[in-house]
Structure formats: C-alpha cells, structure tokens
Chain A
Amino acid sequence: MANRSQIQARAAMMRVRFEAAGAQVVDPPLLQPAETLLDLYGEDIRARAYVTSDALRGEQMLRPDFTLPVVQMHMSEGAEPARYTYSGEVFRRQEHDPDRSNEYIQVGYEVFDRNDPAGADAEVFSLFALQLRGLPLRAATGDIGLLTAAVQGLRTSDRRKAALMRHLWRPRRFRVLLDRFAGRKPGPEGRDTLLDADDPLTVDVPMIGKRRAAEIEARIDALREDRDTPPISDNELAGLETLLNVRETMPYALEQLRDIAVDLPQITPALDRLGARVASLQARGVDVERLDFEAAYGRTSMEYYDGFVFGFYAEGRPDLPPIATGGRYDALTRQLGNGAEIPAVGGVLRPDLMLEIEEDAQ
C-alpha cells in the first residue's frame, strides 16, 4: 500500500502538470457551510458527508468535494476565462462498506470558459488521459445534454417536462413518472373521485400545518389539468428508451443517435455538440474510434453534470471506485451565480487509487 507521503507527492506532481496547462492553484477551506450543500444535493448529502456545527456558524460539513467551493469562488471573484487546479482531502461517510476510504486525496482541474465548449471538454478529457497514461483503465463517456434535450422537446405539458427534468438523476422515479405520463400506470385509488368532486376540500378534518388550503387547491387544479393532458406518444416513449439504451463505441453511437433523432428531432442540437466534441477529442489525439459512449452514463452518481460526462475505471478491479470522473456543469454555475452563469467543465483524479493500480501491475 502506498503511504500518505507517496500519495501526496503524486498529487503534487499531477497538480504541477495542471499548472503547466495554464491552471491557477486554489485551496478552498476544509469546512464548508452545510446550507449550500444541502440545497444542492438535498437530504442525501447527510448520508455521505460529515456534519459538524458550532453555535456561531451553524452546521458545517467537512469538504465532501471541491467542485462546489471552486464554483462559488469563481462566481464571486473569478476573472474570465479561468482554469483552476487543486489537491487535498475530501471526506465521505461510509456506513456500509468498511473497505471504502472515508478520507482521501483528490486532484482536480476546472475550466470556466465561454469560448469553444467542445474544445474545453476535449481539453479536460485529454489532460486526464495524459495523467493516467500507462494505467490499465477503461474510459466511459456520456452526455446528459442528450437526455435533457429529449425530455425538454417532448410534446407534452411544461409541468410534465419539469417533473421529468427534476428526476433526471433518479432513474427509478423518472421511470414511474414516464409510465404515468404515458398513461401506462393508473393514479392512486380514489383519485378520480377527488378530482370530480365539486369541492374536494370539504372534509371533516381540521386544516393544520404550514401548507395552506390554497396550495392544496392549486395542486388539485394541476392534477385535473394533468388528467386532461393526452399521454406521451408511444413513438416518443420508444425514442427515449432507445436513446437511454445506446451503448457503443463513439462512431457507432453517433450513427445510432442520428437514427433516433428522426423520432426525437429535439436532440439534434445536442447531437451536433456531441459531434463537435468528438472532432475536438480527435484533434487532441484521443482514439475516438475505440472510446465507449453510454447515453445513460452519469445519470445516477453525478447529479450536477448536465452535458459531457466521463469516468476512468480500473480494468479487472470492479471493487474500486472510479479512478477519475468529470463533466460539464453549466447549470451549477447558474444556480450558484446569483444571476450570472458561465460554461464550466472539470473533473477529479484519485492519486491513491492510481498508486494502488500501479502496485497491482508490478
């Protein structure tokens, strides 16, 4: 096993390479205000991050990742365009698997640049590939933007599209919603009686709680409207399913996606962006002919990514978490930007796992 100083030495070396690529070193604090993280990730983050508190600052979390503080820092004081690199500990609670580390070092690289997003995607991916050169890894890539475009272009109500978008990162709930909107799953028992009632709110129980009668009425109106909305067509549903199942090397994936765009023309702009990215990757010497592409990749674990996503995995070591992950997170900059936004892409590497794989190989 590599010791701590070996891991730190490797991290420092990788950070120097990112500096050479034009990045400025940043060093966000270990303690992060819990509120921002909770707003972004919801209650789930409590299961993954260590929470502590004091009477003055309230709840704080031990840095569970760097992306969030780096985005916040850039949005409040960064100049444009900007490239950042960092290395340091992140902390993750582990309740189920004692073999997974609860503290490890990440090295990262983040690009905030309005010009040439495809080029920035390719820059990050190829720099990562360079850092990882020689290791027995498999790269996976995907594009959340395709799915987003497919959902936003569905011929259905805005409310339904918003509901699907909200659960894009929760495949099971997404599925349930899709089935319901396609008329394949009936509503709960008694729902029709409720919606048909002249005055559904006349019940013999007192109104309690902070959710007021007007809010209940508004939801009943929304449910009535939804009942009158025609189901999502079989054609669109089939298109979505085929899209989610695309899993090929890049050239074949592009070919399949062009076919799908016949039924789902709304993905065409996202597909053009994917095409531009492939060209940029190729220009940087990435072997795109053999690069894997999965349309559903990154849907479960990478909730703030909204475009290009990638990960590097150790061949023959399915027990290890990914060695590196990254992607594009334009929407996150909007969410944390107080009205400002900037296209952004980046990722992190795990020097500890890289050293472990190197030891395996010897």
Chain B
Amino acid sequence: MSLKLGVPSKGRLMEKTFAWFEKRGITLSRSGSDREYAGKVEGIGGISLILLSAGEIPRELAAGRIHLGVTGIDLVHEKLPRWEQQVEEVAQLGFGKADLIIATPACWVDVDTLDDLDAVAAAFRKQHGHRLRIATKYHRLVREFLTDAGVADYTLVDSQGATEGTVMNETAEAVADITSTGDTLRANHLKILSDGLILQSQATLWRSRVASYEGGNKAVLSELLDRLG
C-alpha cells in the first residue's frame, strides 16, 4: 500500500502542480505517453501519483480513495457540504487564483449591491412572471450565499460552460461564476456586484481525513509534510 496523491490530469493546473512539488525536491511526471493517465513520483518513496479530473478530486478525497489531492477551494466547498470534517487543508499553492462572484449586466445602472439585486428580482418576477434566473455551476455555494444575504425571488439555472454568454442569450439575467481577471465578464458586458464576492479560491493541497493511514502510510505522510514545510 502506498500513499495516493491525486493531481489534475491536464493543462496548466497539472504543470503548475508538478512545478510546485519540483521546487520542494519531489518530481512528479506522467509515465509513458502524453495520453496515458499514469504517473510516477521521484525524490520520495511510498507515494503513487493518480492523475484525474480536478472536479473528481474532492469526491475521491471524501471517499478516502486518495490520501492527498490538489484541487481548487471552490470545488471542495461546492462538492463537499461537510468539507471541514472530510478534508484538511495542507497548503495553498499560490496559483489557480480565482474569485467566485455574482455579476449582472453592466447596463443595470441601478444595481450595485445584493440589496439592489433582491429588489430587482421582486420587480422582475412581477413583470415577467418567472423568477430572476442566475446561471451557475456552483449551485450549493451560490444558494447558501444568497440565502444568507436574504435575497429572494431568484432561481438558479445550470450552466456548465460559457456561463457569461447566458445573459446575452437571455437564458439568464445574472451569473455566478469564477473569474480571475474579469476580462471575460467585461467582454460579455457584465459587472460584478460590489458585495457579490462569494469565495476566493486557489489551487490547494488537501489531505483526506477519511482515508486509512495504516501500514507505512503514516510515516510516508509525515515525511512528505516535513518536506513540503
């Protein structure tokens, strides 16, 4: 049995994670071809690398099928309602930074705060006969945030991609999405509510509180944590 480390299987997130470990003397790499999702670990013993989709890492951590995993704070908080009991944050990795925010059309000059959004939602429902639609893939986080703020008369519509386009296409009136520079929002004529920041996210190394650390895994874990400082 080895300690299983889950890392996003592609793109910049994978490369930057590899670079972060490399700096700490641990070399992660993909074995074989670019298309093969198997990896190897050099510079420390007893760890095996599992490459998988960033969106699946929270679930695997919560099930204890991997011991450690790199994924965004947004995904962990969204997918694991009881994340404090299931995982522990080991380190924030300093990249993949993005804010989960609520944005409305920039032409809504009368809307600046959640307070405004709530008032507009009431009027919108009366006018159009349906609740104001907010497009998002972060259903739980957005709902909890809006419930907490006491916003009513809205409905969440699912959008797994190109969320910023939904307003122009009139399939939603507002969006709740991840943004790092705000460029895509601006390009789609959207603006962020001044108190619409739901969560600040970045790539983070998590430890599963549920996985088994029997056998040699406990020693491997403490050696790894030492090395990561």
Contacts and interface: CB of A to CB of B under 8 A. Distances in A.
User: Does A associate with B in a complex?
Assistant: yes
Given A211-B120, A219-B123, A38 B155 contact: yes
B10 to A, nearest CB: 30
Contact of B156 (A43, A173, A220): A43
Given A172-B150, A219-B119, A191 B127 contact: no
B62 to A, nearest CB: 13
B150 to A, nearest CB: 3
A176 B144 CA distance: 18
B146 A216 contact: no
A209 B168 contact: yes
Interface stretch (A64-72, A83-91, A163-171): A163-171
Contact of B105 (A96, A173, A211): A211
A190 B116 CA distance: 13
Given A43-B154, A170-B152, A207 B107 contact: yes
Contacts of A55: none
Given A95-B81, A166-B122, A211-B120, A43 B150 contact: no
Given A44-B143, A209-B168, A210-B173, A215 B152 contact: no
A264 B215 CA distance: 72
Interface residues of A, number: 40
A194 B109 contact: yes
Given A166-B152, A210-B170, A215-B123, A47 B110 contact: no
Contacts of A213: 107
A200 B111 CA distance: 12
A161 interface: no
Contacts of B116: 188
A56 interface: no
Contact of B128 (A38, A190, A205, A210): A210
A206 interface: yes
Contacts of B107: 201, 203, 205-209, 213, 216
Of listed B109, B123, B156, residue having the most chain A CB within 10 A: B109
Nearest to B154: A43
B184 interface: no
B109 A163 contact: no
A252 to B, nearest CB: 32
Given A43-B156, A210-B128, A194 B110 contact: yes
A42 interface: yes
Contact of A42 (B115, B119, B154): B154
A47 B108 contact: no
B167 interface: yes
Contacts of B120: 211, 219
A223 interface: yes
A213 B107 CA distance: 9
A170 B148 CA distance: 9
A336 B133 CA distance: 23
A20 interface: no
B189 A208 contact: yes
Q: Classify the interface of chain B: helix, strand, loop or mixed.
A: mixed
B60 interface: no
A43 B146 contact: yes
A47 B150 contact: no
Contacts of B148: 172
Pick the most buried of B107, B127, B144, B170: most chain A CB atoms within 10 A of its CB: B107
A188 B194 contact: yes
Contact of B155 (A43, A172, A173, A211): A43
A247 interface: no
B124 interface: yes
A167 B119 CA distance: 11
B149 interface: yes
A220 B153 CA distance: 20
Contacts of A163: 119, 122
A218 interface: yes
Interface in B96-121: 105-110, 112-113, 115-116, 118-120
B109 A203 contact: yes
Given A216-B107, A220-B110, A170 B150 contact: yes
B110 A216 contact: yes
Contacts of A258: none
Contacts of B118: 173
A10 interface: no
Contact of B131 (A42, A44, A208): A42
Nearest to A177: B115
Interface string A142-177: 000000000000000000000100110010111010
Interface string A113-155: 0000000000000000000000000000000000000000000
Interface of B: 81-82, 105-110, 112-113, 115-116, 118-120, 122-124, 127-128, 131, 139-140, 143-144, 146-156, 167-168, 170, 173, 189, 194
The list of the 7 closest CB pairs from A to B, nearest first, reads A173-B150, A95-B81, A170-B150, A205-B106, A188-B112, A209-B105, A210-B170
13 contacts: A42-B154, A43-B147, A95-B82, A176-B115, A188-B115, A189-B112, A191-B112, A206-B107, A208-B107, A210-B170, A219-B123, A220-B110, A223-B110
Given A44-B143, A170-B150, 16 more contacts: A42-B153, A170-B152, A172-B148, A173-B149, A173-B152, A176-B115, A176-B150, A188-B112, A203-B106, A208-B107, A208-B167, A208-B189, A209-B167, A211-B120, A215-B123, A219-B123
